[in-house]
Structure 1
Amino acid sequence: MPSELGSLARKLALPYYEDALPAHDIFHAKRVHDVALQLADQHPDSVDREVLAAAAWLHDIGRPLERAGKIDDHDEWAASEATTLLQRKDVESDRVAAIGHCLRAHSIRASSPEPVTAEAKLLFDADKLDAAGAVGLVRLACIVGERSGSAGEQYAVIDVSSTLDGERSELPDIDLIRAWARERLDSLHTEPGRHLGESRWEFMQFFFDQFTHETNVESGQ
């Protein structure tokens, strides 16, 4: 059953995702929300599910602005914006602060603070788990496409360039997606998150093996 604060956060967040690209849209936020609460059910410590639910809906509200170059850090911006939105709705100050920490600490980037609360760690893990498994493969491919477009050039090639005649290209191949997924799974903070991550990694390994088989010119397939 949806929490009251979670439902409020979802309503507040919706307009911010209108211009989002597929990898960070409202559907991504919903998956993060659902997985975060699933992990919370298995977490040994007490978890404020209202804070966790709200943070999940709000965590990427700054992504469209960051993509457009209007802000530099969607984590910090989301925390500030969410604080203003929630204070206007008279949400308790301790919960507003807790949500703000979750938002500031949800990114894998080096400049992000470490998540220190159970809620922040669960949000971080749920967000990273959406880059693993079947959905994760699609999301990471979308991110490759987004970055290619914004850079005005190819960001990655979906094959191994050594199969072409001539010198090997310096462009990364699909191993980039494998590396991104593994990096995120290696950064998980909670035992429930790591358990789910390894299950999703097993599927990804199967996919990568099949991909290699299909693109192996010597196999005749």
Structure 2
Amino acid sequence: MTTPDNMQRIIQVAQGFYSRKDQAHDLEHALRVREWGKRIAQEEGGDSTVIELAALLHDIGRSGAVEKTHAESSAGLAVNILQKNGYSEDIVRRVKEAIISHSLEAGHKPISLEAKILYDADKLDFVGAIGLVRLFTLAGVQGWNLVGKNSCQEFYLEKICGYREHLFTKSAKTYFDPLFHYMEGFWQELHTERLKFS
């Protein structure tokens, strides 16, 4: 059984990994994904322990990944952490599956409800005001321009604008829409202001 103390230990372990990451994928991001996951699970069902653990550990392999993708690396690290902390093989297996499929970059698609909720919760943290902050933080790490090629705008148009059609849960789509609307308003205002000085 998961206790608050067990979960706190996982957070402390995760903090060590996230302290080496870019600030767009830090512990605060993982904690927000956990909260989104819990909120979606209240409406859609799912094992809250699996969802919380997967959310906390889903990006720990971003730095120094030795496997093909950060999701696969994170899943491998998560297995070791959870086994050392006494979680059952069933919990470990389900958390691993959710983490591997939270990013579609290696062709892993979420199958379980918990994996779908993690996927959706992760995407919700990239829209709205927080999504904009994360986008610009990521841009600083990557050295992107504001608009044009290899830019914030390009990432927004090519990635974030397509998130909704890939969301799995009705709840996530409901939460997504007003947050995305906020982002759309920002980009419209940005272009209006830029035109004044062009």
TM-score by length of 2: 0.89
Query: Equivalent residue of 1:103, what SS?
Result: helix
Query: Equivalent residue of 1:81, what SS?
Result: helix
- Unaligned stretches of 5+ residues in structure 2: none
Aligned twin of 1:185 = 164
1:137 pairs with 2:132:
yes
8 A contact 1:6–1:57 mirrored in 2: no
Q: List aligned pairs for 1:1-221, cutoff 5 A.
A: 3=4, 5-43=6-44, 46-66=45-65, 72-109=68-105, 111-148=106-143, 155=144, 157-159=145-147, 171-179=149-157, 180-217=159-196
8 A contact 1:30–1:56 mirrored in 2: yes
8 A contact 1:121–1:190 mirrored in 2: yes
Shift of 1:121: 0.6
Shift of 1:178: 2.7
Residue-pair matches, total: 195
Which of the pair is proportionally richer in helix? 2
Cα distance in 2 for partners of 1:158, 1:212 equals 11
Deviation larger for 122-131 or 4-13: 4-13
8 A contact 1:132–1:181 mirrored in 2: yes
8 A contact 1:158–1:173 mirrored in 2: yes
- Unaligned stretches of 5+ residues in structure 1: 149-154, 161-170
Residues 15 and 208 of structure 1, relative CA distance in 2, 3 Å threshold? same
TM-score by length of 1: 0.80
Deviations for 1:40-96, whole angstroms, at most 9, x for unmatched residues? 1111xx311011101110001111224xxx554221111111111211222111011
Shift of 1:174: 4.6
Query: Equivalent residue of 2:21, what SS?
Result: coil
Residues 88 and 174 of structure 1, relative CA distance in 2, 3 Å threshold? closer
